[in-house]
Amino acid sequence: MMEFASPCPASLTGPPSHMFMTLINTIMTAQCLLSPANLFPSDHATHLKDGDQFDFIVVGGGSAGSRVASRLSENPKWKVLLLEAGGYPSANTEIPATFSSLAGSDQDWGYTSEPCKNACLGVKERRCSCPRGKTLGGSSAINGMLYLRGSRKDYDTWANDGNVGWDFDSVLEHFRRIEDLQGVDDERFGKGGDLKLVQQISPQPIRKGLLEAYNELGYGAYKEEKPIGYFDFYTNIWKGTRYSAAKAFLAKAKERRNLYIALKAQVGKVTIGEDLLVTGVEVRINGRIINIKATKEVVLSAGSVNSPQILMNSGIGPEGHLKELGVPLVKNLKVGQNLQDHLLFAGLMYNVVDNAFVPKTAEDVMDDWYQYFRHRTGPLSMTTIENFMFFADPMGNTEDPSVQLYYIPMYKNDVYGGLKAVQTLYKLPEEVRAVQNESIEKSHGIFLIPTLTHPKSVGQILLRSADPYDTPKIFTNYLSDPEGEDLQALLDGVRFFQNLTATRSFSRYNPERLHFPFKNCRQHAPDSDDYWKCAFRNIASTVYHLVGTCKMGPKSDPDAVVDPRLRIHGMRGIRVIDASIMPKLVSCNTNGPTMM
């Protein structure tokens, strides 16, 4: 037998050796216990047969679909089938601080946009990333876990456009019904619902500096009635792990005999009978394609990319586009149009002094991992996108913010790997990474990130082919609005942050802005308006908030796909219930509104 030299000059024996192995086993057991699969109903996919019949079929087990399936199955007389294209969420989805590693994993559809003309110019092939959750829980299983509801104006605008019952006072009741706020006395939010909400206050000293800087500029706390200001927003984290929509709504339904869940079951299209009645779905499971019938309704909750794709595959969509691909037309509707998304810019970074953050060494990080695996506490139990955020309108509008501002701390020597994660997530070009990597070796850093709340640019989803299981075409059309309002709003956000860093309160951290020499922007003077607008076009990126592709609106709206009760116009036996129905993008993270 080959022998290897021991890496240690001496090895443990006796009681110390036993304690060391006990420690290792404890950590391994804690890691295994992270897996949430045992929380959910068992996978019924292998038992499904062609011609099986259910009362309701819910397509997509994400933020909306998890709740819809749970609610429907509360009636024991209804037989409900939930079809999810992904599998159970992995243990990786559970650790809040590592969420940024989930984009591009096997729990992400891995979509990228078609080559862009006005954005992502510094990214390979000019293709923007479009992460979409492909697992039970959907995007709520891979996102940043922030819970926001939006402003009064967001929903009152929907109602004023003819969507009866969608005004702020009406939807507030539905928000409060699902909420279970823990540890905070805030009468605005509900208690006793299925969705755990916690407020995590960042321990970083720089948070206090930001708060004082906002106050110095004359701003106060955020309120949904007057949504300008700062707030430590709530998160969907509970006992140190992610609290996805699947955990909130499906775990409690685990023992219901009338709820069936089929995983790795991708729906290609809906089946349609006489008089435009949807009768079921065509689904691919483990390479076999079968048809399953719905006696009451099919509910599409596949998200803003896949719901319109399924409808167009079924002949419900723009007549010209379907005819071009040879898909028989069933109903001519503006499916796939009206694509909207929040757009962020991760190109404003500052060096800050050591006392801006709680000191951390590589050894401290190892201790943090042990603390997390053993007790589910510590820095890894918090999201790395700091939930202390600010909503602003630099033009002075007090009722409708134009930018959402948040920060991401970066430790010296990147001991947590946060910088590398951001670079990968937002596909930052090499010339930017080089400056960042050199800087982080010397000092802490902080990303100050402006995000558009109400972009004017609108994109679309189209089919790539007549194959129902082909990937769709995503045209984000970022920064394409003819008046350049989106570019100006991002520029206003950058200038706002620069004013913030110049305050007396923030200056104590000696902020030093890094200049990134974008290859496409070298003709512009550093810090000029033209430089920033060029930088936006190079690396501005998605925040996972695609909405609007099955637009809700009254029958009189020529662009509407569904009515205010989410029934497809002119069809029977089908509804769409997910973020794709939003007629206009809300001014905040979309996961909360989608679950509502």
Q: Indicate the number of domains in the chain.
A: 1
Q: Is the pLDDT of residue 202 over 60?
A: yes
CATH number of the domain that residue 516 is part of: 3.30.560.10
Q: Is the pLDDT of residue 23 over 90?
A: no
> 148-171 pLDDT, tens per residue?
999 999 999 999 999 999 999 999
Residue range of the domain that includes 382: 93-108+121-132+201-232+343-455+481-542
Give a yes or no: residue 329 inside a domain: no
The DSSP element (H or E) to which 538 belongs, if any, is helix 529-539
Q: What is the reported pLDDT for 20?
A: 64
Contact call for residues 151 and 227 (beta carbons, < 8 A): yes
Give a yes or no: residue 88 inside a domain: no
Give a yes or no: residue 216 inside a domain: yes
CB atoms < 10 A from the CB of 370, how many?
15
Residue 271 DSSP code:
E
pTM, whole model, 2 decimals?
0.94
Give a yes or no: residue 125 inside a domain: yes
**Over the Cα atoms of the chain, what is R_g?**
25
Determine the number of helices (DSSP H) and then strands (DSSP E) in the chain: 15, 27
Tell me, yes or no, if 545 is annotated catalytic.
Answer: yes
Contact call for residues 531 and 523 (beta carbons, < 8 A): no
Give a yes or no: residue 40 inside a domain: no
> 369-404 pLDDT, tens per residue?
999 998 999 999 999 887 789 998 877 777 789 999
DSSP letters for 298-348? EEE-SHHHHHHHHHHHTTEE-HHHHHHHTPPPSEE--TT--BB--EE----
Catalytic position from the list 515, 524, 545, 569: 545
Q: What is the reported pLDDT for 4?
A: 42
Average pLDDT over the chain reads: 94
Q: What is the reported pLDDT for 1?
A: 41
Q: What is the reported pLDDT for 2?
A: 43
Q: Say if residue 267 carries a ligand binding annotation.
A: yes
Give a yes or no: residue 144 inside a domain: no
> 337-378 pLDDT, tens per residue?
999 999 999 999 999 999 999 888 888 988 999 999 989 999
Q: How many CA atoms lie within 13 A of 457 on its CB side?
A: 25
Give a yes or no: residue 516 inside a domain: yes
Give a yes or no: residue 422 inside a domain: yes
Burial of 228 (0-12, 13-18, 19+ CB in 10 A): buried
Q: Is the pLDDT of residue 21 over 80?
A: no
With CA atoms as reference, report the closest residue to 589 among 183, 151, 268.
151
